[in-house]
Amino acid sequence: MDWLDAMNRAVDYLEANITEKLDIEKVAKIALSSTFHFQRMYHMMTGVTVAEYMRRRRLTLAAQDILSGKKIIDVAYRYGYETPEAFTKAFGKMHGISPSAAREPGANLKAYPKLSFHISIKGDKDMDYKIVNKESFTVTGKQRRITMVDGENFIQVPEFWDDCLKDGSYEWIGSKAGKLGLLGVSKDFGKDEFNYIVGVEEIKDTLPKGYVSTHIPAATWALFESVGALPEALTDVIRRIYSEWFPATGYQHDLGAPVLEVYPEGDKFSPDYRCEYWVPLKK
């Protein structure tokens, strides 16, 4: 339960510093995680990014401050808006009315509650996995630097796959696929960025311009199978890994190794399509 407690401590920290500039590195450290894994895990479990959670909570509390009689300009600055105009725009986007209209009797406002994490014990769906030790190997393919700011990674990674389809690199990489098939590799995690590779196991041919080869270290991996159309089926598996499997088993991420998505041949939009998600582990 240490992991679950750490996530709740991270939320408590966010709430205690709701009017301060978001320090995602510090929040991730409280959650016993890297910034990449914390942001990915948070989004998978809650459906919103950390930044979006903070925005909604600030605007929820801002509405309460306005109703209590505080000046709108003071409330705007308190919650990090540089101008009253920017605050009014954000307030209207969430609540559907202007800050001044919020003071009118009977005004409808929205409230986004503080989140908390807990394990939901259902017992109606097993989560199968395998633990595998794999020696180091090389992945070759196309690479792109992905940003995690405001959850952009959830947009940029699919766009990267689409770009590989359009420029022909997907077809070339796929023709070289080995036993594992096509791979999506997340690695080199920084504060707000990471490298993502669309590739395959080592290609012995001379690489065309624009392709890279990268070393994947030996690691212990947990392998989870996803059955169903992409990306929904895989997203559901990843969400369950973080919200159910990690808290239940006591394993932690090995942050020195990448996360792998393994895509065998087949119709990726079929309800029967099978792929795998590999998570590097430490006990």
- Containing domain of residue 253, as a range? 130-282
The pLDDT value given to residue 235: 85
- For range 182-205, the mean pLDDT: 88
Q: Which helix (H) or strand (E) holds 8?
A: helix 2-16
Q: Is residue 188 part of a domain?
A: yes
Can you give 58-120 as a three-state secondary structure string?
HHHHHHHHHHCCCCHHHHHHHCCCCCHHHHHHHHHHHHCCCCCHHHCCCCCCCCCCCCCCCCC
245 pLDDT band (50/70/90 cuts)?
Answer: confident
The reply to whether 274 and 213 lie within a common domain is yes
Q: Which CATH number do you get for residue 88? A: 1.10.10.60
Average pLDDT, the chain: 89
- Count of structural domains within the chain: 2
Domain end point (choices 103, 119, 140) = 103
Phi-psi region of 61 (alpha: psi -120 to 50; beta: other; left: phi over 0): alpha
Q: How far apart are CA 182 and CA 223, in angstroms?
A: 16
The answer to whether the Cα torsion of 232, 253, 55, 106 is positive or negative is: positive
On whether both 189 and 275 belong to a single domain, the answer is: yes
Domain edge (last residue) among 103, 118, 138: 103
19: Cα separation from own chain's centroid: 24
The 10s digit of each residue's pLDDT in 34-89 is: 787 788 778 877 878 899 999 999 999 999 999 999 999 999 999 999 999 999 99
The pTM assigned to this predicted structure is 0.72
pLDDT band at 214 (very low <50, low <70, confident <90, very high): very high
Whether residues 237 and 152 share a domain: the answer is: yes
